[in-house]
Each structure stands twice: as C-alpha cells, then as structure tokens.
Amino acid sequence: MRRANTFLLLGLVLGAVLAFLATEAEPYRQVVTAAAPTSGAGGLSPAADSNAPSPGSSAPQRGTELSTELPALVPQGHVSVVVYDRTKGTTPVSVDAHRHYTSASLVKLLIAFDALDRGTNPATVREMLSRSDDDTASRLWVAGGGTKIVRDAVTELGLAETTPPDNPGRWGDTEITAADITSVYRYLMDQAPAQHRATILQALGDATENGADGFRQYFGIPDALGDVPWAVKQGWSCCNPGRILHTSGLVKDNRYLVTVLTENPRSVSYDTAKAQVTEVVKHLPGIR
C-alpha cells in the first residue's frame, strides 16, 4: 500500500512538471503591428489586428521590431507612428498610436473641413494648407467658432482621442493622437464630400517646400520618399510642452495613410528633429 502511494505521488509530481513546461514553452510576444477599425471614420483601437500573427505563431513579427527601432530614432523624445493600407484595409504599422501630442498645424485639416462646410472659397483653404498659413488658419478658426470646430469634428469623424485647446485662441494646442489623425485621413478619402476631398488633396499635393513663415516643411515624408507621389500636411511648433514635428499624409497613389508624430525637448534643434522624422519614415516598410 505504501509502494502504491509512492507511485501515485510520483505520478502527480511528474504531471505537474509537464504541465508547467507546456505553459512556459511559448513566451508572450507583444504584437503592435495593427489595430482593428472601430466605428465612425475608422480609428484604431488598442487591440491587435486580427490578421496579425498569434502569440504562438512562428511568423516574423516585424511590428515588434519596429516598436523598438522607431523610438530609438528619436532617442531624447517620443514618436508615434501609424501606417494604414487602404487597399488591404489593414494597419501594417502601429507604434504608440494613442499617445497624446499637441497638433501644431495638423489641426488645419479640421479647420479646412469646417471652412468648406461653411462655403469658404476653396482657394482660401488650399492656401492655408499648402503653405501652412497661420494667419489664414486663425481667421478661419475664429469664423468657425474656435474650439467648436474641434468638438464638431470629434463627433462627425468619430475621433476618440482629440480634444480642443484649453486656451481657445491657440488652435495649435489641440490634442491629437496618431490613431485619430489616421481617422481624419480615412474620413477624407472615404466619407468627405467629393469636392472637399478634391480641394484638400490638391492642397496637400501642392505643399510648398517652405511654409508661409519660411520654415522648410519637406522633412519627413517628402524628404524620405523622394519621387514617390505624396500629399502631405506637416506640423511644427515650440514649446508647449516641447519641440513638435509631425509629418502626415498619403503616399504611393493614395494607397497608404502615413502619420508620424514626434515630440522632443527644447534642447534638440529643429534640424536634428527634422532629420529624425525623415529617418523614421525611411524605416517604414512597403510605402516606397
């Protein structure tokens, strides 16, 4: 009887050990390559894409590599990136997509929608966007009700993480995320009135090398992609809270929506920050 109990005890111990080893054989691997669309204009949720490899898959996890590579290119600051493939309806790159940044001039996209809805001359909107003209943006901001522009866009475009500036006069302090900017571009391409879309795309495709304030705005997407067709809206500001540089837009015949948001401390120069943003875009797979 004692021998039988001994064998029973050994069997239980061996079973427990085998169960533990089976559990530990496949370690957890973070998947950040994609996010599922949500309601509204199609934002990104924190959940992983259903098309991404499962934790038990042996497929290469390029997104996990990018989640390390891209932040390393902005060593003193922060970077968030989303690439959306309109042809496949997938998000091949999503790194820190829900971190909040001040918008700088990216909020001009929302100002443009509002201005066109109110019947503003399309030439005025194109001027604001292509040259990133702050004076025109300020006039249209006031005419559209200031922070009401952002609140209305949040509702109409289904933006989950965008908030108006605390100071109603500082439209560039609107808070955004890479996920929501992607939603703005998806709304532009899939839901906006055709004439609005044509006006805005023409302006983004005609973005001038220098903005209205003289700032060179070909960093990021234009410098990284060279002859690849692009249509971009850029953003830059300092210093609330840090040095902001954003590049966003459509590339490769409008197939890919690309958003790269960065924030650096003031000690990082604009030239250094521009080079970092451009390098981040160069590391994005498939968009050339």
pLDDT at position 107: 98
pLDDT at position 111: 98
pLDDT digits (tens, 9 = 90+) for 170-186: 999 999 999 999 999 99
| CA distances (Å), origin 142, targets 84, 120, 148, 155, 177 | 33, 13, 10, 20, 24
Tell me, yes or no, whether 20 lies in a domain. no
Tell me, yes or no, whether 24 lies in a domain. no
pLDDT at position 240: 78
- Is residue 262 a contact partner of residue 245, using CB atoms and an 8 Å limit? yes
> What are 137's two structure tokens?
């943006």
Tell me, yes or no, whether 164 lies in a domain. yes
Largest CA distance in the chain: 96
Tell me, yes or no, whether 22 lies in a domain. no
Give the number of domains in the chain. Answer: 1
Residue ranges making up the domain that contains 199: 35-45+61-282
Q: How far is CA 219 from the centre of its chain?
A: 16
For each of the chain's 288 residues, which pLDDT tens digit applies?
444 444 444 443 444 433 333 333 322 222 232 333 333 344 554 443 333 333 333 333 466 789 999 999 999 999 999 999 999 999 999 999 999 999 999 999 999 999 999 999 999 999 999 999 999 999 999 999 999 999 999 999 999 999 999 999 999 999 999 999 999 999 999 999 999 999 999 999 999 999 999 999 999 999 999 999 999 999 999 987 899 999 999 999 999 999 999 999 999 999 999 999 999 999 999 998
CATH of the domain at 242: 3.40.710.10
